[in-house]
Amino acid sequence: MRIIGDRIFARDADGKLTSRIGTMFFRTPGLVTKRGVHAMQRVMWLDELGKERPLTPSEEDAEIAESVDLIFTDDQVLIRPNPDRMDLAFRADEELQKMVSKRVIRFLNTNSAKVRAALRERGENWRMARQPISQDDMADLIARSRVAVDNLPIYYYNHATGTRFITASGYSDVERVPVDVFRRQIAEIVGGMNKRNRLGRPEVDLFPPSTPIEVRNALKDLKLDELTDEELRAKCDKIMYEWRMALPVDLREETPANFEWRNEMCQALTRGPNETNAEEQDLVAGIAPEFYRQVEWLPGARIDRGEVIFDPIFDEAARTQDPELLALCDNRVKSFLFNTTRLFGAIDYINIGRIANSLARHPVEGSRRGNVYILQYRETGAAEPKVQMIRLQKWGVAERLDEGKNLLQAIVETDEYSDYILDRRLMCRQLGMNLPRKLGYGHFTEKYRGNNQYNGVAVRTAYFVRSYVPGIASDKIPPAKYRNPTFAVRFAELMGAAAAVDMVVGRRSSTTNSPLFDQNYEVVQLGENGLPSEIRITDHAGSFVEYARPYGEYVADYASTVVRRRTFVADYASFAAAYVAGFRRRLAETQNAYRSRRKAFDNLFIDRPYDTNGSGAYRWACALRRLDECDPNVVAAALEKSIGC
């Protein structure tokens, strides 16, 4: 490829890039990096070709039509694709990979659905996803971004664009200050909204960015010098009213505890001048808000006419042994790809991501990271892609080898544990837990890395696959939704029923023995009317950890579901009563189901080993006996007392 100008990332004596733009041509292969604008670079290219022979107007048009704009930052090459000619963008991508590492090549215009679809269909979600950030780090980012200019600290500052965002709550704070301070602060806001910084961004803007233009213009057009103090306050009050009325309900609770507001604010604070990233909801339609910035999409493969072609970045990682690249190129992804394509032959594309952090509001201390993956694929002929969740088996061969066990013992115990997990799933379904209807089970081989003598030996790793459950995790529902009495009561009824089943199956943390209910596993699905219609339990983790104690000894743990929402609901008594009623009803129904088919329940695991040290069959028998002996009314009364209603 002919190059006019310096190589990419070339720097002058002061260490600055010699050029920040480039244009790549394909009809006659070439790259122009000389300083100027893209239009000038096209002229330079035509002049260069004209030195060999004059070009006809149609030939010149063809040269320009087969070209792609590039932008160079200090550490990235950005391709500006034409959404209708993604073939050219991908040709540029392939040529650039001959000059620089693929990991520094990004695509602009990811706000275009065509661009996102084209990358997705190449298995390249990883090239347009934002980097994961933990829940604590998001809250810290928001807190650190709170700034003042010359007056009150009412802004949230985006360091990349230089824009300071003001929220409706921050604007309300201004209304309570003395009149002289009020006038100065309003003047600061209006002045900032009418000014542009060196990046062409407003100095001050309203949050969320989707705020109607009419509200923005009303503030920008305020003529402070022409208004008395009373007139100014009256106009500001009117703007404030219109602003609040325009706010989406889910964004009215301005706190990081409100996941919708937190996500929207983090998005506003981390958006850069050359945006190359897409949001989670753009990558996976309908994904729940708790997944925002939690999926680390990974390199995988594209499928071309049925052939699996692994991403060349795997070769780069193997060649360079770069630790950062090796961490990105997860070999487990290759195994998931193999298994998926072997089971489903006709697939158009697959994208796989790793859940970077626990999605629980209060993650269990010491819980494992990187053992949950998300898989998005589309079968040939299907209109929409499917989404599945992959969870590695908690105790596998590697973990047992780490305990010093020999290889045979580790394999046998791992297989037994797999059966135990699947048996517990059946137990939970038998007792009425609303789990995903299907669960897949698979294996892949990877080398064991540990202190055992078997270090370097290939061992099998087990994992489970289930369909993604759409909806909102119960602990992530925006607080504003509870202000609707009908929503609150319906939610309470369904959660009370789910709590009863959760208590029956004794679901607790196996490491801390703390309760797991209402901490991420319960997904609330909404009907067409926007009200809760069903609660699905995504995973039966922790079930039958507690199988011996009477319900009365730990039923109080289920009171927190109601108590911690006290400030959100308008009618706490009705909310609590609905929760207890749902709990009482489901506990009685579960008990009656057992008593009416006692033999079917008792004999379900009759062929499994019965060991009083805690085998699955023994835990099942204890759980059934405890259920049979309880009085649902007494247990519900104890719950009601703990709630304090």
Nearest to 424 by CA among 321, 539, 590, 332: 539
Place of tokens 């304090």: 644
Rounded to whole angstroms, the Cα distance separating 267 from 166 reads 14
Q: pLDDT grade, residue 360 (50/70/90)?
A: low
Query: 617-627: buried (b, 16+ CB within 10 Å) or exposed (e) per residue?
Result: bbbbbbbbebb
**pLDDT per position as a tens digit, 371-405:** 899 999 999 999 999 999 999 998 999 999 999 99
How far from 64 is each of 20, 49, 109, 164, CA to CA, in Å? 20, 12, 20, 40
**Nearest one of 314, 289, 378 to 102, comparing CA atoms:** 314
- Mean pLDDT confidence for 77-81: 95
Which of 229-233, 271-275, 452-456, 581-585 has the weakest average pLDDT? 271-275
Q: Would you place residue 361 in the very low, low, confident or very high pLDDT band (cuts 50, 70, 90)?
A: low
Residue 585 pLDDT class (50, 70, 90 cuts): very high
Torsion over CA of 33, 35, 41 and 47, rounded to 10 degrees?
-100
**What is the maximal distance between C-alpha atoms in the chain?**
96
Backbone angles phi, psi at 566, to 5 degrees: -55, -40
Q: Contacts by 309-318 with C-beta closer than 8 Å and gap 24+?
A: 310/334, 310/337, 311/102, 311/123, 311/124, 312/97, 312/102, 313/102, 313/103, 316/101, 316/102, 316/103
Among residues 504, 507, 532, which one has the least CA distance to residue 590?
504
Quick one: pLDDT band at residue 365, thresholds 50, 70, 90?
very low
Neighbours of 78 (CB within 10 A): 21
Exposure string for 196-222, b = 16+ CB within 10 A, e = fewer: eeeeebbbbbbbbeebeeebbebbbeb
Map out the domains of the chain as residue ranges.
Answer: 2-108, 135-270, 295-467, 472-643
pLDDT class of 362 with cuts at 50, 70, 90: low
Cα–Cα distance measured from residue 260 to residue 267, given in angstroms and rounded to the nearest whole number: 11
If 0-12 CB within 10 Å is exposed, 13-18 middle and 19+ buried, where does residue 602 land? middle
pLDDT tens-digit readout, 158-187 = 998 999 999 999 988 888 899 999 999 999
Buried b (16+ CB within 10 A) or exposed e, 407-433: beebbebbeebbebbebbbebbebbbb
Task: Give me the pLDDT at residue 278, please.
Answer: 87
- β-strand 164-166 against 204-206: which pairing, if any? parallel
Q: Give the tens place of pLDDT for each residue, 424-443.
A: 999 999 999 999 999 999 99
Query: How much is the average pLDDT of 263-290?
Result: 88
Give SS3 for 32.
strand
Would you call 438 helix, strand, or coil by DSSP?
Answer: coil
Task: Name the nearest CA neighbour of 280 among 298, 296, 293.
Answer: 293
φ, ψ of residue 253 to 5 degrees: the values are: -95, 100
Q: Where are the alpha helices (DSSP H) in 98-176?
A: 113-120, 135-144, 168-175
What are the pLDDT digits (tens) for 525-548? 999 999 999 999 999 999 999 999
> How far is Cα 143 from Cα 160, in angstroms, rounded to an integer?
17
**Residue 147 binned pLDDT confidence (cut-offs 50, 70, 90):** very high
pLDDT in tens, 82-130: 999 999 999 999 999 999 999 999 999 998 999 999 999 999 999 998 8
Residue ranges in 247-279 assigned as alpha helix (H): 259-270
Q: Do the Cβ atoms of 357 and 134 come closer than 8 Å?
A: yes
Counting residues of the chain whose pLDDT is more than 70, the rounded percentage is: 98
Q: How many CA atoms are closer than 13 Å to the CA of 544, on its beta-carbon side?
A: 24
The span from the CA of 579 to the CA of 560, in Å, is 11
**Average pLDDT of 494-521?**
95
Residues recorded for the chain:
645
Distance CA 37, CA 616 (A): 70
The letter for the amino acid at 344 is F
Element holding 379 (H helix, E strand): strand 372-379
Structure tokens at 211: 């705020």
Quick: pLDDT tens for 549-582. 999 999 999 999 999 999 999 999 999 999 999 9
- The Cα–Cα gap between 183 and 171 comes to 13
* pLDDT band at 368; cut points 50, 70, 90: very low
Question: What amino acid occupies position 376?
Answer: Q
pLDDT at residue 461 is higher than 70 = yes
**How far is it, in rounded angstroms, from Cα 33 to Cα 638?**
75
Q: Are 273 and 161 in contact (CB under 8 A)?
A: yes
Quickly state the pLDDT bin for 363 (edges 50, 70, 90). low
Mean pLDDT of the chain: 93
Q: What is the pLDDT of residue 336?
A: 95
Tell me the residue type at 327.
A
Asked if the peptide bond before residue 208 counts as cis, ω within 30 degrees of 0, the response is: yes
- Hey, what long-range contacts does 571-577 have (CB within 8 A, 24 or more apart)? 571/485, 571/488, 572/645, 573/645, 574/485, 574/488, 574/489, 575/482, 575/488, 575/489, 575/492, 576/492, 576/640, 576/643, 576/645, 577/645
Sequential DSSP letters for 134-156:
-HHHHHHHHHHTEE-SSS---EE
Can you tell me the distance from the alpha carbon of 59 to that of 50, in angstroms, rounded to the nearest whole number? 11
Q: Are 99 and 8 in contact (CB under 8 A)?
A: yes
Q: What is the pLDDT of residue 367?
A: 44
> Which of 423, 632, 621 minimizes the C-alpha distance to 540?
423
Nearest to 326 by CA among 345, 298, 350: 298
Q: What is the pTM of this model?
A: 0.87
Amino acid 257: pLDDT: 86
Alpha-carbon distance of 338 to 446, in angstroms, equals: 13
Which of the residue ranges 343-347, 362-366, 481-485 would you say has the lowest mean pLDDT?
A: 362-366
CB 513 within 8 A of CB 557: no
